[in-house]
Structure 1
């Protein structure tokens, strides 16, 4: 199968690219190479005859249509997006332009290509989204595929909008789509503005480890390589028009998560004092959702998928990766906004 993967130089997209090539798929990596993208993420497969790269922006419809015609993909995996909530608070326009209009452009380019090919039944447009579109949970309950949308940030609102567009193109034009909504990802190649790499790199530098509010916010943590496996499974075996929630079945509060990372670092790279001593509670961000949790029943029962690692196992793998790959993350610390407090409104 030939896959067109958007955002394939990003965190989740690059995991999909690496796994797809490893499984023998042809992959066209379409990425604009914005601040959070790194071609080093796909260096391990870049010399493969199965891999090709196109630098293009999903806001550029003519460029997208030319890429479809050039490469003739069998399926699209659409991951390209602005994804950092804090940045969406400071600059929401980029999120609307990329996540909403960019998805519109991808749908139009895919639709025109699909129609031009005679509407092949095997074609798929797989839209990858987030559990944040469902809003915030209390102490109990889980998001299902039927949970009403209730986005609370510019980021989640832009992703909710893109989900609705995908469903509309399926209903109106018959485009064969599948959708997935995932919980918080973590793992190797995670750009160092997100919580887990911030904790690891702050600790290694002996700097304060910032936690918003009281650290009570709860997330369901999904190891990125497990997520990539689930995404390829949904693409290949998911029912057309169906959505699947992908969760890690690993809920932890932010404070519990940070404490676990500190304990792992105490073992793998001991310092003069416990790393947890560096934890510092800071002013919460506006509209910080209290809890996310995914009910993964549908993907488990219909497709037989479950995550392969616990959050403790995945975190140890992640910490080891950062300890062994300073040459990857060190240059990224100089990119715009990294290491700064964003999202204060």
Structure 2
């Protein structure tokens, strides 16, 4: 599948994706390969079996297993590939794991990012860096219009706090080392991307709602559901990835797109955990749940993103509503478990076709 999208920005370009063996990273690498990019990946081994990365079988991607905390290993990957564009997705991404391992979470998500920026500083080929953080970087406060990019940063749990720190580190390096006045002829353009909760086929991570549901269904058991009233900005994994790629495209040609960006669904697709489970069950009746009344660590009751900035300045908006995203997600897992099929490339092709149908600029 060869795709001419994003004004051809990625065709023939050297692109490094950190966290490529993870759920979101593996989908991004697949898309970049379809765009004709020369892709290298830097990550730890997949921590699940099955693994979307392994199932994709992208054997032509340079696959480096390096920990972000290994500064010399990071520098070696940059020396080997001289990337022009970097998408940074590697992280310790789980809230509850961050309670169990706070030191490792901060080491990876903060000092690992510092190591990455230091490697970029000494690699004169890099022109664009998109750092994917999270919607959880915002200080917890009620805002009916959703969090905007200029709202205060904060965090209750170690994961959220580490990602808020990552936003500050990104801003610091952008201003201190990569700004045009101090970076020579070719400064590095840096942006951060704050995405809502992603769903889609190929996610088997621990302690995430949809993967937990899928595992329970495969085992013919019920999943214990905590915080069914918590509201989250659910979206298919291809939605924020289209935002990252659009952001990278525009950064390549214009420094005016640096800084933070939200990527989330329409307000109508910000629904509760319980409502999501009920809707997903209409696509896959084998999914069963029970209430979990045990004590659990703090989680925000409502997470809502305001994405007006991306819609107005990037001409980005979602392609699939939540119903469509749930349908594609359930169909992916059923195809895998019932027929051994991997639907990822087909889902990407359908997504691009529907983006063209609604005349999104990146798909023109």
TM-score by length of 2: 0.80
Give the whole-Å Cα distance in 2 for the aligned partners of 1:261 and 1:139.
Answer: 27
Which of 141, 148, 155 does residue 151 from structure 1 map onto?
155
Give the whole-Å Cα distance in 1 for the aligned partners of 2:48 and 2:71.
Answer: 22
**Post-superposition shift, 1:223?**
0.7
Task: Tell me the equivalent position of 1:264.
Answer: 283
Which of 2, 23, 30 does residue 35 from structure 2 map onto?
23
For 2:292, what is the secondary structure of its paired residue?
Answer: strand
The answer to whether the 8 Å contact 1:125/1:177 transfers is: yes
Give the whole-Å Cα distance in 1 for the aligned partners of 2:259 and 2:273.
Answer: 32
**Post-superposition shift, 1:44?**
3.5
The answer to whether the 8 Å contact 1:59/1:105 transfers is: yes
Matched, 1:82 2:82: no
CA RMSD of aligned residues (A): 2.1
Unaligned stretches of 5+ residues in structure 2: 1-12, 179-187, 343-364
Number of aligned residues: 312
Unaligned stretches of 5+ residues in structure 1: 270-274, 330-345
Matched, 1:181 2:194: yes
Give the whole-Å Cα distance in 2 for the aligned partners of 1:107 and 1:64.
Answer: 10
Task: Tell me the equivalent position of 1:167.
Answer: 171
Which of 306, 317, 325 does residue 317 from structure 2 map onto?
306
Q: Equivalences for 1:22-61 in 2 at 5 Å? A: 22-33=34-45, 35-36=47-48, 40-41=52-53, 43-44=55-56, 46-48=58-60, 51-61=61-71
Give the whole-Å Cα distance in 2 for the aligned partners of 1:43 and 1:153.
Answer: 33
Give the whole-Å Cα distance in 2 for the aligned partners of 1:281 and 1:254.
Answer: 13
For 1:248, what is the secondary structure of its paired residue?
Answer: coil
Q: Equivalences for 1:108-257 in 2 at 5 Å? A: 108-114=118-124, 123-138=127-142, 140-174=144-178, 175-193=188-206, 194-213=208-227, 215-238=228-251, 239-249=256-266, 250-257=269-276
Which of 10, 22, 25 does residue 10 from structure 1 map onto?
22
Task: Tell me the equivalent position of 1:317.
Answer: 328
TM-score by length of 1: 0.85
The answer to whether the 8 Å contact 2:23/2:52 transfers is: no
For 1:255, what is the secondary structure of its paired residue?
Answer: helix
